[in-house]
Amino acid sequence: MYAISKFINISQNVVCENGKTIFHNQEDNFAAFMKNVYKSLNISYPKFYKMDDLCKLAFIASELLLQNETENDIALLFSNNEASLDTDLKHQQSIQNPEDYYPSPAVFVYTLPNITIGEVSIRHQLKSESAFFVAEKYQTDYLHKYAEYLLKTNKAQKVLCGWIHFLNGDYKADFYLVEKMGILEHSKEHINDITK
């Protein structure tokens, strides 16, 4: 049996930990929201400002789950519906007009959704199993089973699962940590509740 030890939900200017609001943003703007949460964490990580919005969201959600974590063998299973389309649109814009053609390497590098995994792995030094999935909605059945497989086969000691949505200013993050002990049973019902 495995358990969910902690979960984080971010949407509509609110950050919730285990279902309780821990941060409420006053400004109605994603960039300011993420910056305010980042400041509240009291960490110095200038690379945060270089990330695209999808990575910022994944970074903040993961930070809230892993800030006091000592385990490094934590698998990352991230997913969403739009992959990196928000940044893809920015790169496309930079090459659309031949008169104003300046593709940016700092934008292009974020045109892969698994860069979210890279950023979180670097921050928490996770040399671990990972995969980025694209799906219409959160794949509870598959991810429930896969997380338990990774734990049972000792391919990871803990598994961080996350749904990260960011497209054209619309956003949502649902993250939870799976391990041996926790506050909720690692069941499909609880996962559906967390990711609804």
Partner 1 sequence: MAVFIHDTNIISPLGFSTDDNFQKILLGTSAIEKVFINDKIGSVYAGKINDELFSNHFQSINADFKGSRIEKLLIAALSPIVEKNPLKKDSVFILSTTKGNIAALANDDLSGAFIDKLVQNINSYFGFETDPIVVSNACTSGVVAISLAKRFIEMEQFTNAYVVAVDELTPFVVSGFQSFQAMSSEPCKPYDADRTGVNLGEAAVAVYVSNENRTESIQILGDANINDANHISGPSRTGEGLFLSIERAINEAQITSDQIDCISAHGTATLFNDEMEAVAFNRLSLQNVPTNSLKGYFGHTLGASGLLETVITIESLKNNVLIPSFGYQQQGTTQQINIITKKEQKSLKTALKTASGFGGSNSAMILVKNSENVRN
Partner 2 sequence: MDALKQELKERIINALNLEDISIDDIQDNDPLFGDGLGLDSIDALELIVLLDKEYGIKLADPKQGKEIFQSVETMAQFVAANRTK
Q: Is 86 exposed, middle or buried (0-12, 13-18, 19+ CB in 10 A)?
A: buried
Binding test (CB under 8 A) with partner 2, winner from 11, 43, 95, 103:
103
Q: Distance between CA atoms of 100 and 103, rounded to whole angstroms? A: 9
Rounded to a whole number of angstroms, the minimum distance from the CB of residue 106 to partner 1 is: 9
- DSSP per residue, 85-120: HHHHHHHHHHHH-GGG----HHHHTTSSTTHHHHHH
By CB under 8 A, tell whether 87 contacts partner 1.
no
Interaction residues for partner 1, span 3-62 (CB under 8 A): none
By CB under 8 A, tell whether 85 contacts partner 1.
yes
Contact, 166 vs 57, CB < 8 A?
A: yes
Contact, 62 vs 55, CB < 8 A?
A: no
- # residues near partner 1 by CB under 8 A: 50
By CB under 8 A, tell whether 183 contacts partner 1.
no
**Cβ closer to partner 2: 21 or 104?**
104
Site string for partner 2, 52-91 (x = CB under 8 A): ----------------------------------------
By CB under 8 A, tell whether 149 contacts partner 2.
no
Q: Distance between CA atoms of 150 and 158, rounded to whole angstroms? A: 8
Question: Which residues would be at the binding site for partner 2 (CB under 8 A)?
Answer: 35, 46, 49-50, 102-106, 109
